[in-house]
Amino acid sequence: MKLILLGAPGAGKGTVAKLLTAVDGSVQISTGDILRGAVTAGTELGKEAAGYMKRGDLVPDSLIMGIMEARLQESDCEKGFLLDGFPRTIPQAEELTELLKKVDIQLDMAVEIDVPKDIILDRLCTRRTCENPDCQAIYNVKSNPPKVEGICDKCGAKAIQREDETEEAISHRLETYNEKTAPLIDFYKEKGLLLSVPATSSDAVIEAVKKKLNL
Ligand code: ADP
Ligand code: ZN
């Protein structure tokens, strides 16, 4: 399947993407994971992106488009891909449309994961992320804590609160989402590509996607 996952920070895009990879072997492409990996590795890309990310601002469209143009043409994308965190602005969406046309790839749909704002806020404040760039497993101190506090179950690295998950950065990320990313919902609706799912649970989203694609 070739999907875009839309939704506010904390809506569960990453969790849904991981579950969908198990359905048909499509790959998850998370621009947030790619950028955090670059910051930890200290690459040029990471150095450019770090300041924006820490504040909860979007990194410039040109940086993201460079990453995605290369990534979407890698061979593992042929089976399908789940775009998690991209596109995030109207210019990114327009450029993605052009790029997909150029490389002759047809998108199935954009899935909007719709979660009430109070749930989003609570989730982001209690979220912990594995700091190992090759793992980046996600935990929640209330609903899904690691077995040993502060330690990732999967790889043993530290499970930490992300630098952009302070209360201040979170509210800024939500404002950025409303202003820059929420307009993509109408953008894909007008193209007839939108599936909107009230996300009571990640499993409910998976079922809705499978049903829509007859899987
Ligand atoms: P979230 O939980 O906010 O969805 P992500 O892991 O997707 O977080 O992204 C973390 C940060 O990485 C964002 O706040 C932003 O600074 C940057 N980022 C990720 N994807 C994009 C994108 N498509 N365009 C611009 N910036 C991005
Ligand atoms: Zn880990």
Which pLDDT band, with edges at 50, 70 and 90, does 96 fall under?
very high
Query: Residue 197: enclosing H or E segment and its boundaries?
Result: strand 194-198
Whether the CB of 85 sits within 6 Å of ligand 1: yes
Question: In the prediction, which pLDDT does 163 show?
Answer: 86
CATH 3.40.50.300 applies to domain 2-115+180-212: yes
Active site (annotated) includes residue 13: yes
pLDDT in tens, 100-135: 999 999 999 999 999 988 888 888 999 999 999 999
Q: Is the pLDDT of residue 199 over 90?
A: no
Active site (annotated) includes residue 162: yes
pLDDT in tens, 138-151: 999 999 999 999 99
- Look at residue 27 and give its three-state secondary structure: strand
| Structural domain boundaries in the chain | 2-115+180-212
pTM for this prediction: 0.90
Nearest CA to ligand 1 atom 10: 32
From the candidates 36, 123, 127, 128, give the one annotated as an active-site residue. Answer: 127
